[in-house]
Structure 1
Amino acid sequence: MNDAKQTPPANDQTDDQMATPTADSEVVQEPSVPNGEGEPAAPAEDSLVEEQAAEIAELKDKILRAMAEVENMRRRASREKEDAHNYAVTKFARDMLAVSDNLRRAIDSIPAQAREQEDVKHVLAGIELTESELLNTFEKHKIKKIEAEGQKFDPNQHQAMFEVENPAVEPGTVLQVVQTGYAIADRLLRPAMVGVAKGGQKKADVKVDQKA
């Protein structure tokens, strides 16, 4: 008997060929999943950044306002302290001005011829020394005389008591001081009582005609 050899059919395919997909077969793709940096998360992040920026700006504004308020309080306290230092003795100083006035009256009341007498000379020297010490004490507390005689009348520092006819000076010039005025620091303590010039000739304004 002849054994017949059987060959596989021509149209049969191998297992590897069956496993390989053809061009016409469908390819199933897995759905894409957005990562953490994808488009869907961007709006939420922008909103969070804007919210944080607004909160930082608000906190910064509050801090600046608080710092400004503290600085204003510091300046106010410093000014009140300086005022208390300069003007705490105002009432006492005003009372002491009467002592200074009396000392000056005592000096002015001594006639010129009597000043040459030995006894009067010693008394006068003592009164003048006392007045000098008092004025030095005034200076230490920023209490100063107001220079009035020969000055232009200033209603903020002078009090006019009478007027004097004097054509030799400009009207409004202080000619006589009846009572000395004083200022403490930059405030008026007592106005100077003065006599003011009336009439007289005003300073002429010199006008120069300019020709083109």
Structure 2
Amino acid sequence: MSSKEQKTPDGQAPEEIIMEQHDDVEAVVESDDSAEQVDPRDEKIANLETQLAEAQNREREAVLRIKAEMENLRRRTEQDIEKAHKFALEKFINELLPVVDSLDRALEVADKNNADMAPMVEGIELTLKSMLDVVKKFGVEVIADTNVPLDPNVHQAIAMVESDEIEAGKVLGVMQKGYTLNGRTIRAAMVTVAKAKA
């Protein structure tokens, strides 16, 4: 029996099997050749990956920007709350200042040498002292110092007066006391300023 006549268990001649295997090898070689060609799907995948990376970067930047804005908003809100707490009494103090001024003026004009007026003068002094002590607890400071450099933040110069005793440019006298609330001027002191003699 020749090799051509021999049959495999499937009923195929060995030559037919070799031919089929040869065709399979050629198909594999052809598929390798086509693999060298750029598949449009691969290019599309690469473009999509690039777009995804760009979108992720944009999203990351947006998240960072939003976080920064939220942090700034939180900080501003805290500052606003702190200022509100610090200066909530400003209107009340402004309403109270004329009363303090009236007590000051009453002491200035009172006859302290008159024995009959002594109890009244003492009562006014104690009332003024206790009122100033109370407002001081809430951050109110009195501006009434003399012989200090003129500070435009807390002083309002209303006159310049020649003086031998006090250096030029310093506060000579206080016409009306000034007040600050937690470091913020709520009323500048009206003062006279010393100037050098001509």
Interval of TM-score (by shorter of Structure 1 and Structure 2)? 0.7 to 0.9
For residue 145 of structure 1, report the CA deviation from its aligned partner: 1.1
SS of structure 1 residue aligned to 2:146: coil
8 Å contact from structure 2 (residues 162, 197) kept in 1:
yes
8 Å contact from structure 2 (residues 146, 174) kept in 1:
yes
- Alpha-carbon displacement from aligned partner over 1:122-155 (angstroms, at most 9, x marks no partner): 3333222211221122223322112441111122
Verify: 1:166 aligned to 2:163, yes or no: yes
Counting only pairs closer than 5 Å after superposition, residues 200-211 of structure 1 correspond to structure 2 as: none
SS of structure 1 residue aligned to 2:26: coil
Residues 200 and 14 of structure 1: is their aligned pair in 2 closer, same or farther, counting only changes over 3 Å?
Answer: farther
Counting only pairs closer than 5 Å after superposition, residues 1-212 of structure 1 correspond to structure 2 as: 14-15=2-3, 28=23, 29-32=25-28, 33=31, 40=39, 42-114=42-114, 117=115, 120-199=117-196
Deviates more, 1:139-148 or 1:175-184: 139-148
For residue 42 of structure 1, report the CA deviation from its aligned partner: 5.0
8 Å contact from structure 1 (residues 168, 200) kept in 2:
no
8 Å contact from structure 2 (residues 156, 190) kept in 1:
yes
For residue 196 of structure 1, report the CA deviation from its aligned partner: 0.7
- Tell me, which stretches of 5 or more residues in structure 1 are unaligned? 1-12, 21-26, 202-212
* Mapped partners of 2:80, 2:195: distance in 1: 43
8 Å contact from structure 1 (residues 178, 194) kept in 2:
yes
Deviates more, 1:52-61 or 1:78-87: 78-87
8 Å contact from structure 1 (residues 165, 198) kept in 2:
yes
Question: What is the count of residue pairs matched by the alignment?
Answer: 179
More helix by share: 2
- Tell me, which stretches of 5 or more residues in structure 2 are unaligned? 7-13, 16-21
8 Å contact from structure 2 (residues 166, 172) kept in 1:
no
Quote the residue 1:210 is aligned against.
none
- Alpha-carbon displacement from aligned partner over 1:11-58 (angstroms, at most 9, x marks no partner): xx9427x968xxxxxx55322336xx9874654443332222111111
**What is the identity, as a one-letter code, of the residue corresponding to 1:166?**
S
For residue 76 of structure 1, report the CA deviation from its aligned partner: 2.5
Instruction: Quote the sequence identity (%).
Output: 32
SS of structure 2 residue aligned to 1:106: helix
* Mapped partners of 2:128, 2:166: distance in 1: 32
8 Å contact from structure 1 (residues 163, 196) kept in 2:
yes
